[in-house]
Amino acid sequence: MLSRHHDPIAAIATAPGRGAVGIVRVSSPQDLTPLVAAVCGKALKAREATYLPFRDAAGAAIDQGLALLFPAPHSYTGEHVLELQAHGGPVVLQLLLARCLEAGREQGLALRLAEPGEFTQRAFLNGKLDLAQAEAVSDLIDSSTEAAARSASRALGGALSGEVGELRDALIKLRMLVEATLDFPEEEIDFLQQADALGRLSRLQQRLDAVLDRTRQGALLREGIKVVLAGQPNVGKSSLLNALAGAELAIVTPIPGTTRDKVSQTIQIEGVPLHISDTAGLRDTEDEVERIGVARSWEAIADADVILFLHDLTRVGQADYEAEDRLISDRLANVSAERILQVFNKSDAPNAAPVPEGALSLSAKSGAGLQALRQRLLQQVGWQATPEGLYIARERHVQALRRTREHLDMAQAVAHQQPPALDLLAEELRLAHDALGEITGAFSADDLLGEIFSKFCIGK
């Protein structure tokens, strides 16, 4: 995609299907005046909506609507942009798009169809948005909760980019001090004390930790939490899924093995999306279909952020039940303990066993204990009460900040050596700077950019 970023492009910029209004968007580094004349039949004033007929090659009207021209660089992409707002029927919009492509050829403008995310990619390449802001455009469109939408809007406004920029500026100043000292070796002995390099580095690490914490929270808002309900048959997994979702999604019967495949639903708690999956009961079985379902259950468990290991309080103490639970626990031994949440269900049953001290108990049937479970799920993944100004983030941002922190830690270790190896210190600070630059796109490989923008919708 990057090799063709100077091509004029066009696309339908609104969602597929019928609607009141649909938009065809054109962006080009070349002047669009000839195209405007061919399609609109008259010149347009910059950034002023004009109501007129959109004309085909013979001069007949395809539709009536609004045309807006945004001359470069004052446009979304930083190029010359034409937007045609017509009625939102798919046939009308396809005719209008085809006319733009045809008129482009007639006027010597080699218009082609835009690829997914190409308009926003050009906004990034032309300096209208940095990479974190460009990603926030997609995140805002894809937001599944109100909190995620508000946070994506803040990221689009530059909240994440601003914090990363402050870290970058502090890191640049520290790099300048270190590299300047490399040019004057006689000053090396007093460098750390006079320039307060250790103090600057320590403060930078503290600020980075604060940004990393907020970024983790933002990544949770965007990515959500993958939760798997696991346990023996008939412990109440399907009932718990239905209770959390507030709908009858899974079939509930007293017959063991009712659930044979994964049933999933996304809910939200405090604006955080939870992708909850009910799985087949974990047991050895001769039923071929159920065995496939159990295998898929273990696959889902391996991929989960949180595993709710459900226990049946009405069967606790029964030898066969306890033996099966131990087998499941043994197989879960290779899973990080932080990912497993022990939950005891059927607490309202007359024959329910006492709940182990400190354990989480509930009744999926009555709803008792569900709110405590919701809060525990958020705690399990480190969610905090949403602070004002939280911005949405991606896992790649978290990883970039973690790499930055690792290089700063290495830099601190080098700085404490006697005497400090300033060339190694300078190198670790450079690597930290590069990792930080990946977030906003200051240092990004073309294949990374292609992967990011390919996930956008066409027309954006």
Feature table: binding site for (6S)-5-formyl-5,6,7,8-tetrahydrofolate: 25, 83, 128, 460
Q: Which residues are annotated as a binding site for K(+)?
A: 234, 253, 255, 258
SS3 per-residue string spanning 136-179: HHHHHHHCCCHHHHHHHHHHHCCHHHHHHHHHHHHHHHHHHHHH
> Left, alpha or beta for 432 (phi > 0: left; psi -120 to 50: alpha)?
alpha
Cα separation of 333 and 331, whole Å?
5
Q: Say how many C-beta atoms besides its own lie within 10 A of residue 176's C-beta.
A: 12
Provide the annotated binding site for Mg(2+).
238, 259
CB contact set of 22 (below 8 Å; sequence gap of 6+):
12, 14, 85, 86, 87, 88, 89, 90, 92, 93
Residue 413 to residue 390: CA distance in whole angstroms: 32
Which token pair is 111?
A: 């218009």
Upstream peptide bond of 73 is cis (omega within 30 degrees of 0):
yes
**What's the token pair of residue 382?**
């480190």
With H, G, I as helix, E, B as strand and everything else as coil, classify residue 226: strand
Residues 299 and 201: their CA atoms lie apart, in Å, by 43
- For 151, residues 6+ apart whose C-beta sits below 8 A from its C-beta are 218, 221, 222, 390, 391, 392
Binding-site positions: 25, 83, 128, 234-239, 253-259, 278-281, 460
Query: What's 14's DSSP letter?
Result: S
Length of the chain: 460
**β-strands 50-55, 61-70: how paired?**
antiparallel
Cis peptide before 419 (omega within 30 of 0): yes
Contacts of 11 (CB under 8 A, 6+ apart): 24, 25, 97, 113, 114, 118, 119, 458, 459
List the beta bridge partners of residue 88: 19
Assigned token pair, 258: 């009712």
Q: What is the DSSP string of 387-435?
A: -TT-----HHHHHHHHHHHHHHHHHHHHHTSSS--HHHHHHHHHHHHHH
Question: From the annotation, which residues make up the binding site for GTP?
Answer: 234-239, 253-259, 278-281
